[in-house]
Each structure stands twice: as C-alpha cells, then as structure tokens.
Structure 1
Amino acid sequence: MALRSTVEQQPPGGHIMRRIRVVLSTLFLAIALVTSGLSAPVASAEVDVYTTPGEHTVNGRQWRTWCEPYSQTVRCRTEIWATTVIRSGGSYYNRTWWTFNNLTYLSSPPSLWVGNPLASPGEHRLSGRTWETECYTPRTGNGCRAYLWTDVVAAHKSGSGYRYQSERTLVFNNIVQFGALRTDLAELVKWRPKNTTPPGPPSPSQPPAPANYNISKGPNSTNRVTLTFDDCPKSLSAFKTTVLAAEEAGIALAVLPTGDCIRAGKIDTSFAREHGHYVFNHSISHPDLTTLSYAGVVKQLGAPGVVTTYGRPPYGAWNSTVKKAYDAVGMKIWIWNVDTNDWKGKSQSEVVNYVVANAKAGNSVLMHMQWNGFSGSALRAMKSGLAAKGISVCRNQGATTPVKPAAMNC
C-alpha cells in the first residue's frame, strides 16, 4: 500500500461566504497511513465525528473534532490519529499524531453559498488550483463535498524502508451541509483539544564512531559490505535512477563525489541522503593530494566538495601532510578493501563477479559512478551474489539526515 500526503485547504472565514475567492493554505506535507483514497474514513451511526466536538473512537479509529464560528453557522475541523511521514529539512521521518481529515460547514441556507465553488457542482479553477465539487449525490446527501487536485508525496514500501515520489491526485477536503441553522451553535464552539502542537522531528539517531577505526573498512563497524562509488555519474538523471533502485533493493550506498561534479549539477547530495544513502568527500578536482602543500590539501577538502566526517583521497594517495590536513578539518581518511578496477572498461557482469568473488564480511568495495557497477541491476546482482555466500550489504534504513555522520548505520 502506498502512503499518501494529506493536504488541508481552508476557505475564508467570517461573512465572506459569497465570494468565489478561496484562500489556499497548506497545513503540512504528511504521508498518512489512512488516507490513500479520495474519501475520508466513514463514521458510524453512533456519533457523527465530523460534527460532534470532542475525542471519539469510531470504527476502531481515534478521531477528534472542534468547531469555530463561521459566518452565520459553524465550521468543524476533524482530525484522525494516524502514523504519517513528514518532510523536514530535506528528509522524511515517521510521526504518530493527529492528522487533518476534513472541514465540515454545518447546516446553513443554500442562499449563503451562491457562487462559492465549495457549494457549486463541477470543476473550478482558482488561484492556479483545481477543485471538484459534487452536490446532492448519495454520498453528499443534502449538501456538497469538495476535492482538490494537488501534488502529494507517495511512499512506497521498498526493502527495509520507503521510496518517495510525487504524484498528482484528488484529495477530499471539506463538506458543506445545507439546511436550517442549528440552535446549538454556541455549545458546539466551547470544546477545544488540550494539545494542538505536534511533536517536532526527532534527533537523528546514528551509531557511535568505530572505537578502533580501520582506514580500509571506514565508518561501517558491522560485518556488512559497503558498496562505495567515487567521482561523478554520467548525468543527474542516471544518478537519481540508481539511487532509487538501490533504495528499493534495500541497499545503502556510500557515494563520494568530487566538488566539480556537484558544481556541474550531476549529483544531488540531499536527494541521496533523503533516500537512505551516505555522501562523503572526494576532494574538489581530484588531484593527487600528495603533490600539494598542506594549504592546498585543506582547500581540496572544502566546498564545493562535500564537507563531512569521512573522505577518500583521490587514487587512495596520502602521506603525513595529507593526514594532517584531514585531521585539521575533522575528517577521517577512508580507503577500501576491494578495488574492482571498473574504470578499465569492465562489463557489468565482470564488475559484479569480481565483487562477489572478492568481497569479505565488513569490506569496503571501490567502484565509480560513471562505470558499469553503478546501476540498479548491477547492485541487485551484487547483493544476491554476496547473500549466496552468507554476506550482507549495508542496509538502507531510511533518510540519513546528518551531513556529518559519526558512522554508517548499516
């Protein structure tokens, strides 16, 4: 099941019901476990959760509703307790909290709604957004329901995590009831929930730095193999395709681009981290660092290269001057255990076979993003081949928020 975004759009309050203009204000981007369709969950006959203030348990779900004055009637907001995925700072995290379900405008004469798209059947284009409204149908009864075409983020289960992608869909937003004004409006607006402030994003969890750091093994302290890729992919599109394929296969990659690659727009470091991968330093322009002065090495370890906690010197070349520069910028040198030499033009099958034949538990494998090991099919074959030998690869466990991770969480 795909998890989808829920989007809240609130029309204007007060006595401006007659106006066609609708204020569009998105509450938040949240991928809800319970809102993958166009219709809201159906309430039972015991209590109308859309119009009854308070907290309720209906159909095994928890709901809460509170109301506020709106023109001559009352508007009620209904939320449902759900696990959602929230985007924050370029990454995603799970949150169990109250999630917007819909707005309900309690009964009022149809004459108050003349010209308002929320109470006019058909499709409406307002402020660049498209609304669809249905009225007097078996689903709406004596009233209307409005839906909004919007871009949402869908989360598809992938390996041990999720793969996120934007989709265009129609989202249920509100109900308008027609009829005589209720006589209990003053009572309806009295109840308010005690807490309407959702919890913020959690502090990123990550394993501690390896106690006995091994320059070849790097930041992965487990017995899982780390598949690492240096330099620059053929294109940004090729990079994103492989990153998504690795995520879907449950693999966390370590990518080490040059600053020149980032500057050329061929790699998106935030996108990689959002999809469960790690991004480390590989200098700016890929020189042999042993030929540079201390100041020259320090410069190569800065922006536009990746500023982080681990870095791989080009060609694996380092000496005491290079080590001193890495220490000065708070970066550990990370080489490799297995060199595939994929840059010599090896075919995909040759690269895969070499990795499967030579990688041992806990090893770091060196490959390059512009060659034939950097593809979804190659990564899946490596994982499968190593699994047949009882060796696992670093697992994709969701977004890697920290820019400077202490270690890889494999």
Structure 2
Amino acid sequence: MILTKDGVRPVGVSVVLIADGDVVGTVTLDDSNAWKHTFENLPVYSNGNLINYTIDEVDVANYTSVVSNNATYSFTVTNTHVPVVTSVDVIKVWNDANNQDGVRPVGVSVVLIADGDVVATAVLDDSNGWNYTFENLPVYDEGELIKYSVEEISVANYTSSVSNVSAYSFIVNNVHVPLITVVNITKVWGDGNNNDEKPVEVIIYADGVKVANVTLYPSNISRFIFDNLPVYKDGKQINYTIGVVDGNRTVNFTKTEGNFTILIEPEYHPDMSVRKITLDKKVRVGQQVSFRIVVKNTGDCNLTGVYVIDSKYSEGLVLDHMLPNNDWTYVGDGKFVYGKTLGVGESASFIVVFNTTSVGFKVNSVIAGNNITNDTVNSTNTTRVVNDTVPNVPVNATPKHPVPHKHHVPKHVKQDKYATGNPIALLLLALFIPLIRRKQK
C-alpha cells in the first residue's frame, strides 16, 4: 500500500483467494495485520490437476488496484491514489495614483504559505504583468485541507494588504498616498483704504498648466490657502507659480518656499496737458518774443519725470534763453525737465524767449511727457512778426506777463538820442499850428 496525503485510505480492504476461478477464501487487510495475510493449508492439486490460485481485491473507493505475482503462491496488491493538486493565483494591484510620486519599485517579492510554512516565493514585476500562479500544490496534508495564504515582503513607501478572491486566489494591494502641499497667497492692497474695488483674478499654475484660480476683492479675506496640491507628477517635483489677470494695475508678487505675497496697486489713469501761450502776439522783426509753457496733471496719480521739448518752430525763430526758474532745468536740444513731482491737478510753467530774424506768421509747437505713461501731449501757438509796424500797446497798459528785462528792445538796436518824443504828440502839434496862425491873422 502507498501512503497518501488526501486522507481517503480506508481502514481496511477485503481480498479474496480464488482457486481455479472459485472464491475459496476471504481476508481483511488492515493495520492490525500490517496489511498482510497468508492463506494456509491449501491443496496443490484437484483431480490430479495443479490448482491455479489468484487474488482479487474488493473495490476501494478513490483508488485503483493492481495485483502482481511475486511467485506462484505470492501476490502483491498495489492500491494507487493520485493526490489532488491545485494552483494559487497572486495579483498585484498598485494604488499610488499611477506612480505619481515615482516611488514604485521595479519588482516585489511574495511568498506562498501553506499551513503557516513558506513553501514558495515569486517576484512580481512588469515582465509577468504583476501576477503569478503557484502550480501543482497539494490540496490535503494527511487528510486535512491545506490552508494557503500569501504575504508580501515589505515595500518601502507603501502599505500592503492581501485580500482573498477565493481560497486559491489572492490580491495584494499596495497603497501609497501621494505627497501633497499647499500654496498660500497673501494679498496686500496698495491703496490702503480699499478705494479700488475692481477684483483681481489670481491663477495658480503647475508646471505652466492652470490648476486653480481665485478672485480677490479688497473687502474679502487677505489670505487664501490652496491645499491638496500634489508635490510630484510622474516622479518629478511640480513647480508652482502664479499669474494675475488684470488690466492696467501694477501687481507684484514674491515667493518664499511656496508662499506668495501679492501687492496690488490701485489702477491709476495718468494723464497730462500742455499749453504754449504766446505773450507777444505781434512783434517787429529783430525783437524778442516770449512764450509761457504750462503743463498740468490731469490724471489721477502723481507724475514724475515731467519734461517739455520745445524744438519745433518756424524759420525765423531762434531760442535765446529761458527766464530763471528753480523748478525747471534746460538740458539741451530744446528739452526742459521739471525737477519735482507734479501732483494730481497741479500745474507748472516756465517762460522761454526767442529772437525773431524774419517776418511772417511763426508757428511754434511744444511736446510734453513724463515717466509714468508713454503718451505725450502737444500744443501749438502762432506769433506774427512784422517789418516796421509797432505793436499798438495802449499807454499805461498792464504788461501781459511780468518779464523783468526789456526783451522788446534787442541789444543790437540803438535808440535815437535825437528823437523829439512821442510821434503822436508831434502829429497833433503839426495840425494845431496852422489853426493858431489863422486866428492871429
């Protein structure tokens, strides 16, 4: 008899002794007779013929039986049972956001355990699709059903759990929670008093791709926290940046270890105007003509770097000088620079003096600008320069502007020391002399 682990062996089997085809004896083989028996005192002949003895076994469940002759009167009954075998399947499941953090190993080892003892080991990896089948495994041990289980050798950065699909099928689940971070945004409004109510949209980018946004108002909370943002993508650390959707306002931000501070300046609309005022509408050739240039801040923010360029004028006008003015500086090439900040609604002016060298209507243009805006403004005025006509200025008339020097009398023109006086008085005298003589006659 051959031992089996399946526990299906009977406690005893019956065998019969057959003599020339007739059953002449029966015996039970079991542990008590060590599964052996000897039929004794058997006749050798019958009617002078040699008796043919054979052995047969009564059917034994779960076994096949074979009788073999060791000798004429010796037999062996062999009972064969093929142990039941099975297979155990192992499937690996990764729960790590498709290896977002890049920590998944190239392979893991699992062990097969039968009734507490390790009986096999396998490596799961991409080459076998992260699954494996343990084959030709006995189902029983000494008649007891074998309990199979699977364990995984520890995997760094993962927790492992094993679940049973069936008694012979297991799923090994590896879990890695991807690392997350937060992005803090602190807003600071540059207007101080929340005067500018226009919102600002802030966008968060992950490696240049928009992932979140928030609209900031002066009246709402000053800090925003974006949490549950992944640290890695495809194993590479994500670079978080922010951007601002806004119009003309200045929005600056700084970054310190993932924390952003946004400084939002009010939305200003800088603007200015310039006027060039002719102080002498009509002069004789050779005289000087003066212009007052006035710039004004017409916007809603202070202006710096205010300048005036006075270089576009007709032939016959030659820039001579500007009247002393501590706020303005002439830097050359017709450019004058204002040395102060021009506040909202404020004006600043200076006077320039030109020499006239030819007659005609002289057009004089001026351009003004500043450092805050790229826009420039301009103004144009005209002066008439004549040959001999003296400007008709009433006696005792108040000058149009306080010019502390006699720029109407060019330095190279001398006054006639023999002049008799006012030409109008002489004309009246010439008219009255004949009348006086007539009365005398």
Same fold (TM over 0.5): no
TM bucket, shorter chain = under 0.3
Which of structures 1 and 2 has the bigger CA Rg? 2
Q: TM-score, normalised by structure 2?
A: 0.21
Question: Of Structure 1 and Structure 2, which has the larger fraction of its residues in strand?
Answer: 2
Pick the structure with more helix per residue: 1
Question: Using CA pairs below 8 Å that are at least 6 residues apart, which structure has the higher relative contact order?
Answer: 1
